[in-house]
A and B are shown apart, each in its own frame.
Chain A
Amino acid sequence: LAKTTQPISMDSYEGQEVNITCSHNNIATNDYITWYQQFPSQGPRFIIQGYKTKVTNEVASLFIPADRKSSTLSLPRVSLSDTAVYYCLVADGRNTPLVFGKGTRLSVIA
C-alpha cells in the first residue's frame, strides 16, 4: 500500500483559500488519490478523487502533478464549518481497502 504523508495540523482565517499537500512517493500505476473530511464524532465524508491533473467539484479542487508523487487539496474561501480533519488516501480500490492515516487537522479562525 502506498504510504501518505500530510501535515498534522493547519490554521487558516475565514475566507482564505487553504491548500493541503499530501506526499505519496511510492504510488502505483493503478492507484487513485482520494480525500475525505471528518467532523468530530462523525464518520468521514468523501470529498474528491483523482488520478492525474486537476479535478474540481462543488466542494474542492484536487491538483495532481505529472509524476503523481504528491497531491494538493484546495478548499476555496474556507468558513468556520470547514474545521475538520482531512485525510489523503491512495489505493487502487479493487483488491486493497483504504488506509486512513492521522490526517490533517484544519482549524478555521474567525
Chain B
Amino acid sequence: DGGITQSPKYLFRKEGQNVTLSCEQNLNHDAMYWYRQDPGQGLRLIYYSQIVNDFQKGDIAEGYSVSREKKESFPLTVTSAQKNPTAFYLCASSSRDRYYNEQFFGPGTRLTVL
C-alpha cells in the first residue's frame, strides 16, 4: 500500500530536550511538508521541501529544523529553542503532477512537553 507514515503517534518530552519526529512516504512524491496544529486551530506550515537537499521555511520555522537527504524521508527536529512545542504535528506530501495542491497527510504525532 502506498502512503505516508509518521512515528511515533504519541511523544513525551522533557523541557530542554530535542526530539525528532519521523515522516516517510512511498508515494514517490516530490514535495513534503510539516505542519503544526493547536487545539481548535487550523494548520500552520513549519517547513516544506520540493526537492531533495533543499527546503524552505514556513510561517513558524523558529525552533524547528528539518533535513531532506532522501526523497522518501523528511524528519522534523523540535529543538529546545521552541518555546511552546506541545501540539499535533502533521506531515504531508504531494506531487508536482497535481500542482502540489493535493496533499496526502500522515496520521500525525502528538507531542507533549512535560
State the A residues within 8 Å of B (CB): 32, 34, 36, 41-46, 49, 87, 89, 91-94, 97-103
CB distance from B74 to the nearest CB of A (A): 13
Q: Do residues A34 and B102 form an inter-chain contact, with CB atoms below 8 A?
A: yes
Q: Do residues B33 and A97 form an inter-chain contact, with CB atoms below 8 A?
A: yes
Contacts of B40 in A (CB 8 A): 102
State the B residues within 8 Å of A (CB): 33, 35, 40-45, 48, 58, 88, 90, 92, 96, 98-108, 110
**A-B CB proximity, top 4 nearest:** A43-B105, A93-B99, A100-B43, A93-B101
Question: Among the listed B58, B90, B96, B101, which residue makes an inter-chain contact with A32, where contact means beta carbons less than 8 Å apart?
Answer: B101
When chains A and B are docked, how far (Å) is the Cα of A97 from the Cα of B45?
8
Contacts of A93 in B (CB 8 A): 98-101
Contacts of B98 in A (CB 8 A): 49, 93
Q: Do residues B88 and A34 form an inter-chain contact, with CB atoms below 8 A?
A: no
Question: Among the listed A43, A87, A94, A97, which residue makes an inter-chain contact with B48, where contact means beta carbons less than 8 Å apart?
Answer: A97
Question: Among the listed B42, B58, B108, B110, which residue makes an inter-chain contact with A43, where contact means beta carbons less than 8 Å apart?
Answer: B108
Q: Do residues B101 and A45 form an inter-chain contact, with CB atoms below 8 A?
A: no
Q: Do residues B100 and A97 form an inter-chain contact, with CB atoms below 8 A?
A: yes
Q: Do residues B88 and A41 form an inter-chain contact, with CB atoms below 8 A?
A: yes
In the assembled complex, 23 residue pairs joining A and B whose CB atoms fall closer than 8 Å, in A order, are A32-B101, A34-B101, A34-B102, A41-B88, A41-B110, A42-B108, A43-B92, A43-B108, A44-B43, A44-B105, A45-B105, A46-B103, A49-B98, A92-B99, A93-B101, A94-B96, A97-B33, A97-B45, A98-B45, A100-B35, A100-B42, A102-B42, A103-B42
